[in-house]
Chain A
Amino acid sequence: NAGVTQTPKFRVLKTGQSMTLLCAQDMNHEYMYWYRQDPGMGLRLIHYSVGEGTTAKGEVPDGYNVSRLKKQNFLLGLESAAPSQTSVYFCASRENYGYTFGSGTRLTVV
């Protein structure tokens, strides 16, 4: 059972470049989330989805877009990367009170 898989694990981008982070879950969970983790800030919610075809903004949505075309996948896009988006990104899925997290994507924007 893979759980939640994030790709890629590491990426370096130049300012202004775009990229998409992929999150895939094989547990048939309805809810999926994207968080970013920064030193001293804990985890902050970027966007989330309560089911296929739905998305909603979290605490820090600016500069990011998301899509949930298939139930098992939740994509996070950066249209024009900025150094402030250097962070570790975590995806999670949820069933009832059980959240499962991926192992993270470390993104550096130079």
Chain B
Amino acid sequence: GNSVTQMEGPVTLSEEAFLTINCTYTATGYPSLFWYVQYPGEGLQLLLKATKADDKGSNKGFEATYRKETTSFHLEKGSVQVSDSAVYFCALSDRGNNRLAFGKGNQVVVIP
């Protein structure tokens, strides 16, 4: 079945540091890949997506590239701000099963 694996543990970094959150997936077929962000006390918001291999999704300075050969969709941002503190979820959707499968999420804390 479909599954998403995110790196373990929270991520704490200083303002203006480089952020990487790893995401790998297992899927049958050709999934679409997503990153969602959840700010404290709120629901999930779509951050970016990629629907086919080699696509790059980008939004608000965040980027992720759909790598079919390594089954990965790592999230990166070159210079984080305190306002980027949130929980980030990687997810995939396979056309065949009509639903999103989520990774466990990573808490990101940016210190001034």
For B42, the chain A residues whose CB sits under 8 A away are 103-104
The number of residues on chain B lying at the interface, defined by a beta carbon within 8 Å of a beta carbon of chain A, is 21
Q: How far is the CA of A58 from the CA of B49 in the complex (A)?
A: 23
B104–A33 CB distance below 8 A: no
Q: Is A74 an interface residue (CB 8 A)?
A: no
Which of A92, A97, A103 meets B51, CB within 8 Å?
Answer: A97
Instruction: Give complex CA distance A58, B103 in Å.
Output: 16
Q: Closest Cβ of chain B: how far from A54's Cβ, in Å?
A: 11
Is B98's CB under 8 angstroms from A31's CB? yes
A52 to chain B, nearest CB (A): 15
Classify the secondary structure of A's interface with B.
Answer: strand
| In contact, B99 and A48 (Cβ under 8 angstroms) | yes
Give how many A residues have a beta carbon under 8 Å from the other chain's beta carbons.
Answer: 22
User: For B46, B49, B51, B98, which residue has the most chain A Cβ atoms within 10 angstroms?
Assistant: B98
- Which positions in B face A, CB cutoff 8 Å? 6, 32, 34, 36, 42-46, 49, 51, 89, 93, 98-105
26 interchain pairs, CB-CB under 8 A = A31-B98, A33-B100, A35-B102, A41-B104, A42-B6, A42-B89, A42-B103, A42-B105, A43-B44, A43-B89, A43-B100, A44-B102, A45-B99, A48-B98, A50-B98, A58-B99, A90-B43, A92-B100, A97-B32, A97-B93, A98-B46, A99-B34, A99-B46, A101-B43, A101-B45, A104-B42
